[in-house]
Amino acid sequence: MQLAISIPIFILWRLATMKTFWNIDNNLKAINEWQPNCWIQVTCPTDEDQRLLEDEFKIPDYFLSDISDTDERARYEYDDGWMLIILRIPYVKEIRSRTPYTTVPLGIIHKRDVTITVCYYETNMMIDFVSFQQKRGEGFTDYVDMIFRLFLSSAVWYLKRLKQINSLIEKAKRNLDHGVNNESLIGLSRLQDSLTYFITSIRGNENLLSKLKFKLQVDELDADLIEDVNIEMTQARETTSIYSDILESTMDTYSSIINNNMNTTMRTLTSISIVMMLPTLISSFFGMNLLNGMENNPFGFGIAILISVVVSALSWGFLRYKRLL
C-alpha cells in the first residue's frame, strides 16, 4: 500500500489498460504506440492483447501459455530468433489464503528491436520497477540492461517480502507465548509453505542468471550490475533459509509443548482414576457375602467410609509427593 501511494496517477492508469508502451531511452516515458527498441509491458493480458502479440509481432503462441502457467520454472529458450526468459517474482495473495506469499512467472520476450514483458498477475514489484526507473532518469542502455535490472528488482522484492514474513512469524510467536492455539499454528504452517516457494524460486533465478551471463552480450556495466544481482540474490536465498530454519524450529518447539501438555493431562487423569478406584475396591470387599466381622457391627458402614477416605488420602498424598498430580 505504501508503494502504491508514491506511484504517479498516470502510471496506475496505464497499468489499468493492461498494455503499455515505454520509451526506454534516457528516461522511461509512456508512448502511444509501438516504436522500435521500446519496451512493451503487458499485465494481465486480455484475449485481444494475446492476439496482438501473436499476430502483429509473430511471437510463438506457446510462449504465452508457458508464461501463464503458475508452476513454470525459471528458464530461457530460443525459437525462430525469439528469446523467452521466465523469471519467478514474489506475489502476495490474500493474507488468509493457503499460501499468502508465493511466486509467479514473469515472461521476458525479445527479438531484435522488440522487447516484451508479460505477467498474468498485477504485482507491486512491476509497479515499483517502473516508478524507480523513472526516478533514476537514465532509462536502459539496451535490452540486456533491462533484463538484469528486472533480476535485481526481483531480488530486492524477495527481501522486502521476507521482512514482512518475519514480522508475521514474530507476531504468531507472541500469540503462542500466551497460549498455544490452532490458528497461530496454522498461520506458521502457511508461512512455511511460502518460504518453500521462495527458496525454490530464488534458486531457480540464480541458476538462470548464471546461464544468461554467458548467453547474452554482457559489457562492463552489465558485469557490475550482475555482481549486484548476485549479492542481492545470495542475501535473499540465505535469509529465506534462515527464516525457514527458525520457523521449523519454532513449530517443532510448540509441537513438543503440545505433546508435553497432553502427556501431563493424561497423567493427571490416570492418577485421579487410581484415587477414585480405591474406595470402589474397598466397598466391594465389604459388600461380599462373606463373614468379615462387620456384618453385625452397627458402625460397619462408617468404618468402611473411614477406611476409604484414609486410603484415598494416602494415595493422593503419595501421588502428589511423586508429582503425578
Q: What is the pLDDT along the chain (325 residues), one digit of tens a residue?
A: 333 333 343 343 344 447 888 988 878 888 888 888 899 999 999 888 888 888 888 999 899 999 999 999 999 999 989 999 999 999 998 766 778 899 999 999 999 899 999 999 999 999 999 999 888 888 898 889 999 999 999 999 999 999 999 998 888 888 777 777 777 778 888 899 999 999 999 999 999 999 998 888 877 777 889 999 999 999 999 999 999 998 888 888 887 777 887 887 888 888 888 777 877 777 776 666 655 566 666 776 777 778 778 888 888 887 777 776 6
How far is the C-alpha of 177 from the C-alpha of 168, rounded, in Å? 14
Q: Which residues contact 109 (CB under 8 A, 6 or more apart)?
A: 59, 63, 82, 83, 84, 85, 115, 116, 117, 118
- List pLDDT tens digits, range 43-73: 999 888 888 888 888 999 899 999 999 999 9
Q: Which candidate, 105, 143, 123, 153, places its Cα nearest to that of 15?
A: 123
157 and 106 in one domain? Answer: yes
Range of the domain at 283: 263-321
272 and 234 in one domain? Answer: no
- What pLDDT, on a 0 to 100 scale, did the predictor assign at position 90? 95
From 235, 259, 283, give the residue that closes a domain: 259
204 and 218 in one domain? Answer: yes
Residue 74 near residue 205 (C-beta atoms within 8 A): yes
216 and 118 in one domain? Answer: yes
From 243, 259, 275, give the residue that closes a domain: 259
Counted domains in the chain? 2
250 and 270 in one domain? Answer: no
81 and 204 in one domain? Answer: yes
From 259, 276, 299, give the residue that closes a domain: 259
159 and 31 in one domain? Answer: yes
Sheet containing strand 75-79, edge to edge, reads 29-31, 19-23, 39-43, 114-119, 101-111, 82-92, 75-79
How far is the C-alpha of 41 from the C-alpha of 37, rounded, in Å? 13
209 and 72 in one domain? Answer: yes
271 and 253 in one domain? Answer: no
61 and 109 in one domain? Answer: yes
180 and 197 in one domain? Answer: yes
- What pLDDT, on a 0 to 100 scale, did the predictor assign at position 1? 34
102 and 59 in one domain? Answer: yes
